[in-house]
C-alpha cells in the first residue's frame, strides 16, 4: 500500500504538471488524495501479478511463485532506485560545482560537496555494473531494471516540456524564480 500511495502521488503530481494523462492529475474531493493515480498503480500491480501467476514467470529458484515474483520486482526496483540515487549525486555535483548556483550556497563547502557525491556516484556505478555484469539472461531482474530506466529516459525525452513544466511549477510553488529569470 505504501508503494501505491507513493507512486500514486508522484504520478498525480506529474500528470497535474502536464507530464502524463490529465485524468491521473485529479485529487479526490473528500479525501484530498490522488485516488485515481493510486488505483492505477494498484491496477498495474494486480495485472503484473496475474501475468506472473498465469505464466509461471519469473522462476528465480525459490520454489514459490509468489516469492519469485516479489524478488524479481524488488531487485528491479532496487536497481531503479540506485539509478535515481546516481542522478541525485550527479545533480549535487552540478549544484555544488557550478558557479551558477553560488548565490544559493555561497561557494562554501565546495570541496566536500564535490568529493562526497563523486565517491557516492563511484560506489553506485560499481554496484550497478556488477548487477548488470552478473545478469544471467536478458529477462533477469537487473536487466528488467535497466529496461524500466530506459523507458523512463525515453518518456522524458519524448515529453519535451517536462523540464519547463515541472521546473516552472516547482519554482512557482516555492515562490522563486527559475535560474536565469528575475523575480
Residue-wise pLDDT for 62-87, tens only, equals 999 889 988 998 999 999 999 999 99
pLDDT at 178 over 80: no
Confidence (pLDDT) at 183: 45
Give the rounded distance of the alpha carbon of 105 from its chain centre: 26
CA distance 136 to 151: 21
CB contact set of 5 (below 8 Å; sequence gap of 6+): 33, 38
Average pLDDT, the chain: 86
Supply the pTM of this predicted model: 0.74
pLDDT at 119 over 90: yes
Q: What is the mean pLDDT of residues 163-169?
A: 59
pLDDT at 47 over 90: yes
For residue 175, whether the previous peptide bond is cis, meaning omega lies within 30 degrees of 0, is no
Tens of pLDDT, residues 138-163: 989 999 999 999 998 888 787 765 55
Give the rounded distance of the alpha carbon of 120 from its chain centre: 18
Confidence (pLDDT) at 113: 87
Confidence (pLDDT) at 172: 65
Cell numbers for 56:
509461471
CA distance 145 to 151: 10
Return the residue matching grid coordinates 566536500: 112
pLDDT at 52 over 50: yes
Confidence (pLDDT) at 20: 82
pLDDT at 180 over 80: no
Between 171 and 152, name the one with better pLDDT: 152
Residues in the chain: 183
Amino acid at each position: 500500500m505504501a508503494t501505491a500511495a507513493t507512486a500514486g502521488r508522484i504520478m498525480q503530481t506529474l500528470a497535474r504538471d502536464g507530464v502524463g494523462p490529465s485524468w491521473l492529475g485529479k485529487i479526490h474531493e473528500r479525501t484530498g488524495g490522488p485516488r485515481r493515480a493510486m488505483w492505477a498503480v494498484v491496477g498495474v500491480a494486480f495485472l503484473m501479478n496475474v501475468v506472473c501467476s498465469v505464466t509461471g514467470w519469473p522462476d528465480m529458484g525459490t520454489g514459490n511463485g509468489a516469492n519469485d515474483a516479489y524478488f524479481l520486482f524488488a531487485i528491479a526496483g532496487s536497481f531503479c532506485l540506485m539509478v535515481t540515487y546516481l542522478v541525485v549525486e550527479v545533480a549535487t555535483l552540478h549544484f555544488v560545482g557550478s558557479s551558477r548556483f553560488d548565490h544559493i550556497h555561497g561557494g562554501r563547502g565546495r570541496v566536500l560537496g564535490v568529493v562526497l557525491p563523486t565517491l557516492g556516484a563511484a560506489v553506485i556505478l560499481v554496484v550497478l555494473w556488477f548487477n548488470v555484469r552478473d545478469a544471467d539472461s536478458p529477462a533477469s531482474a537487473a536487466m528488467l531494471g535497466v529496461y524500466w530506466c530506459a523507458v523512463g529516459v525515453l518518456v522524458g525525452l519524448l515529453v519535451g516540456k517536462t523540464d519547463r513544466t515541472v521546473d516552472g511549477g516547482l519554482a512557482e510553488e516555492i515562490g522563486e524564480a527559475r535560474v536565469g529569470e528575475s523575480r
